[in-house]
Chain A
């Protein structure tokens, strides 16, 4: 290994750490904003924006109880797995003008898989806690996971396919390709419609990924007393909270990369360093707007669905929308 490659290696490690820390911070920060906005929508003052940080630190000092029926290493391992897999996704995401740390040809697929991991970890943790509420919650989480995965996968693959048709030979499942070739630019009017449908699909999948109302059935407070998380406390709970916060960033960024990868600097005819800064800022603005609609607004304006309703909403309604999107895309390409 040459000196420069060692240097790059070290740089990557540092970058990894930086992104992990930043991701967590941005996630918690947005969570605070989310809670504040939701409160304002509900005519309340709401918690201070730093509240999620406080909650996190609070949870860290709390006692970490492992219930008697649980298998300790699985019970404790689940939250770590959830967090690690979510943070890993961050390494594959480009943030506005900052390219992804690890770019690979198949990273979009990898992300889809990694997105399922926290849910799986949650299910495992829930099952392993040995409480019947948690078991029912875990079953629901599983059902929900299977339901929303289909529309999610449809969206991702259709977009990749369309991109591939437009630019054969491009590394299509690499997010870099998406961010350099916005989907809106390569399709005709019908494809445009298809892309809107796909965007809609992704937006609706997001609340389930983040298990917020109306798709928080697995954790339903009023039915299952916290569902899968019912036995978790202290540090483990904190890790799950973190996971959720980071996942929020991930989902927001994913939407941006797939659908709104535009930068603002060309518009302002900036270049060089100022452009870079502007783009980063613009990215955050986009992130907040996207998350407002994907998370805050949806969760405030809807009631929780029952698991069968949620499941059929995804498996039937949303998948059909995704497939119609596919159809539009295909027709658009053929004509």
Chain B
């Protein structure tokens, strides 16, 4: 047990990675069973993550070094890459890892039935496992180059997954290409930024960089590159154009994971700003940049969403809008980082709101995409105008949809309300207009979800859907688990904030703590 605990960070990465290679082979023998196998792997990963989380929250940051200097990481294409891996897992990292673990586990379970009728499921699962691996990597690593590698893997596997359905028609392929272009550019830029660091400081360890940070011109340039590229990957306005396509064309289970991926990028953004730069930079300016990005995302996302007819596109725009809340919360925290009084009175709270919203968003957004998937699974369309009256046949899905919609609209007692409340309560002190906008966006969000509800679920039973049934159990299970978590979070937000979110925020704010652990550990 102790051994497992000690090596948990490695196992979290290694398990899915290994499974990724085993899956195709397994698929040759028992094609039907891979889905169960993969779900089991994710289940174990989830357990490991939970164990790790317990440890971190009680004992503090874990630093895990992969054996010496010669370890290598094999890319799917067969390359091996000489690399030295240090994992530095603090409260923030594990927070993200938890999200990833939960979401990928549920995505896998959901896929059991959802992907049943597709061919090439072995490839699908392999990619899913790889994607999860890469996300874990991004979140756990303490090395900026490793981060890049995982970032790259996540892009490649996402592209492949988005285009997974392209055997049917051209749209997924188009979305995938869009995503690929975006990813390559951002990867290149990130690599360039990393190069800038390496050139200056000769190290790739984040803690080390942070401790050397001079905030030179080059650093500024790197910051700008990171900021734009990661904002782009997390789907913030004005670099959001890829999200609707990618989200709507990917299979629903993957969309859910993609949401988590974009959140991983967001995490990276925060990590770089807080852990790498922190007070060295002009926090007010950068904070305001984040806030403005956030407000724009919120507003544009929601207004674009209101006019959509494709259910998943609509939800995708909401993802953009929800990202705005996180940026807003964290941005406000950042803007007052250098002002201890304000930080204490509302800055930390704003960040708590933002970070809490990350997990909440992953949960309810996941749930909503899964219900959209369920609708697609049964009706074969994503066009809202073609659906109708489905509540007559799919009561569970309807119920889950209502929970998800209420949560995203920030209606008590669901989790969205908890994090949004924290955001409003802190943000208005910074600037009341921001709070007004944030609340307004919530109402608009509600409106557009009522619209979906109306066109998809309510109204008379349509002739063509007379025989439609509830979706299979595995899908219901995945949605039910998310719903339960959502309600739990909504009912006991204080608990979550205190034990999970607050440590994560403090981990972000306390740069010195971050650097000292790792440097001490080296």
Residues of A within 8 A of B (CB): 68-69, 71, 73-74, 105-106, 109-110, 112-114, 116-117, 120, 123-124, 127-128, 130, 135, 138, 142, 145-146, 149-150, 153-154, 157-158, 160-161, 164, 168-169, 173, 326
Q: Say if the beta carbon of B440 comes within 8 Å of chain A.
A: yes
Chain A residue at minimal CB-CB distance from B443: A149
Chain A residue at minimal CB-CB distance from B442: A113
Contact between chains at B440 and A113 (CB < 8 Å): no
Contact between chains at B459 and A157 (CB < 8 Å): no
Interface residue count for B (Cβ, 8 Å)? 34
The 7 closest A-B CB pairs, nearest first, are A69-B460, A71-B391, A161-B432, A127-B454, A127-B458, A153-B439, A128-B458
Contact between chains at A157 and B435 (CB < 8 Å): yes
Contact between chains at B459 and A130 (CB < 8 Å): yes
Chain A contacts for B453, CB-based, 8 A: 124, 127
Q: A106-B424, A153-B440, A160-B432 are in contact. List 16 more A-B contacts (CB 8 A).
A: A69-B461, A71-B392, A74-B457, A109-B424, A112-B439, A113-B410, A113-B417, A114-B412, A116-B446, A127-B453, A127-B459, A146-B443, A150-B443, A161-B428, A161-B435, A169-B345
How far apart sit A164 and B428, CA to CA, in the bound complex (Å)? 10
Q: Say if the beta carbon of B395 comes within 8 Å of chain A.
A: yes
How far apart sit A41 and B133, CA to CA, in the bound complex (Å)? 73
Given that A71-B457, A145-B443, A326-B432 are contacting pairs, would A128 and B450 also be in contact in the complex, using a CB cutoff of 8 Å? no
Contact between chains at A128 and B391 (CB < 8 Å): yes
Given that A74-B458, A124-B450 are contacting pairs, would A109 and B425 also be in contact in the complex, using a CB cutoff of 8 Å? yes
Chain B contacts for A106, CB-based, 8 A: 421, 424-425
How far apart sit A164 and B446, CA to CA, in the bound complex (Å)? 29
1/0 per residue, CB under 8 A from A, across B438-472: the answer is: 01100110110011011001111100000000000
How far apart sit A203 and B275, CA to CA, in the bound complex (Å)? 49
Q: How far is the CB of A116 from chain B (nearest CB, A)?
A: 7
How far apart sit A164 and B398, CA to CA, in the bound complex (Å)? 42
Chain A residue at minimal CB-CB distance from B449: A120
Q: Say if the beta carbon of B228 comes within 8 Å of chain A.
A: no
1/0 per residue, CB under 8 A from A, across B387-411: the answer is: 0010110010010000000000011
How far apart sit A105 and B398, CA to CA, in the bound complex (Å)? 33
Given that A106-B425, A130-B459, A326-B432 are contacting pairs, would A74 and B391 also be in contact in the complex, using a CB cutoff of 8 Å? yes
Q: Out of B439, B447, B451, which one reaches A157, CB within 8 Å?
A: B439
Q: How far is the CB of B315 from chain A (nearest CB, A)?
A: 18
Chain B contacts for A112, CB-based, 8 A: 439
Interface centre among B345, B425, B444, B461 (most CB of A within 10 A): B425
Chain A contacts for B424, CB-based, 8 A: 106, 109, 157, 173
Chain B contacts for A68, CB-based, 8 A: 460
Contact between chains at B447 and A154 (CB < 8 Å): no
**Interchain residue pairs with CB less than 8 A apart (12):** A71-B391, A71-B392, A71-B457, A74-B391, A113-B417, A127-B450, A128-B459, A149-B443, A150-B440, A157-B432, A157-B435, A164-B428
Given that A71-B457, A128-B458, A164-B429 are contacting pairs, would A153 and B417 also be in contact in the complex, using a CB cutoff of 8 Å? no
Q: Say if the beta carbon of B436 comes within 8 Å of chain A.
A: yes
Chain B residue at minimal CB-CB distance from A330: B432
How far apart sit A162 and B435, CA to CA, in the bound complex (Å)? 14
How far apart sit A10 and B168, CA to CA, in the bound complex (Å)? 61
Chain B contacts for A150, CB-based, 8 A: 436, 440, 443
Contact between chains at B459 and A149 (CB < 8 Å): no
Q: How far is the CB of B149 from chain A (nearest CB, A)?
A: 43
Chain A contacts for B439, CB-based, 8 A: 109, 112, 149, 153, 157
How far apart sit A68 and B392, CA to CA, in the bound complex (Å)? 11
How far apart sit A158 and B345, CA to CA, in the bound complex (Å)? 18
Chain B contacts for A169, CB-based, 8 A: 345
Q: Out of A130, A146, A160, which one reaches B458, CB within 8 Å?
A: A130
1/0 per residue, CB under 8 A from A, across B412-431: the answer is: 10000100010011001100
Chain A contacts for B444, CB-based, 8 A: 146
Chain B contacts for A168, CB-based, 8 A: 345
Given that A128-B391, A135-B454, A161-B428 are contacting pairs, would A113 and B436 also be in contact in the complex, using a CB cutoff of 8 Å? no
How far apart sit A74 and B390, CA to CA, in the bound complex (Å)? 12
How far apart sit A127 and B390, CA to CA, in the bound complex (Å)? 13
Chain A residue at minimal CB-CB distance from B451: A142
How far apart sit A214 and B429, CA to CA, in the bound complex (Å)? 35
Chain A residue at minimal CB-CB distance from B410: A113
Chain B contacts for A142, CB-based, 8 A: 447, 450-451
Given that A127-B459, A128-B391, A142-B450 are contacting pairs, would A157 and B428 also be in contact in the complex, using a CB cutoff of 8 Å? yes
Chain B residue at minimal CB-CB distance from A129: B458
Q: How far is the CB of A316 from chain B (nearest CB, A)?
A: 14
How far apart sit A116 and B410, CA to CA, in the bound complex (Å)? 11
Q: How far is the CB of A152 from chain B (nearest CB, A)?
A: 9
How far apart sit A242 and B140, CA to CA, in the bound complex (Å)? 54
Given that A105-B425, A153-B436 are contacting pairs, would A130 and B345 also be in contact in the complex, using a CB cutoff of 8 Å? no
Contact between chains at A145 and B447 (CB < 8 Å): yes
Contact between chains at B412 and A113 (CB < 8 Å): yes
Q: How far is the CB of B263 from chain A (nearest CB, A)?
A: 25
Q: Which residues B277-317 have CB closer than 8 A to chain A?
A: none
Q: How far is the CB of A176 from chain B (nearest CB, A)?
A: 15
How far apart sit A299 and B449, CA to CA, in the bound complex (Å)? 31
How far apart sit A146 and B441, CA to CA, in the bound complex (Å)? 10
Contact between chains at B447 and A146 (CB < 8 Å): yes
Contact between chains at B460 and A161 (CB < 8 Å): no
Chain A contacts for B450, CB-based, 8 A: 120, 123-124, 127, 142
How far apart sit A146 and B444, CA to CA, in the bound complex (Å)? 7
How far apart sit A169 and B345, CA to CA, in the bound complex (Å)? 7
Q: Out of B421, B440, B446, which one reaches A109, CB within 8 Å?
A: B421
Contact between chains at B454 and A110 (CB < 8 Å): no
Chain A contacts for B428, CB-based, 8 A: 157, 160-161, 164
Contact between chains at B446 and A130 (CB < 8 Å): no
Chain A contacts for B446, CB-based, 8 A: 116, 120
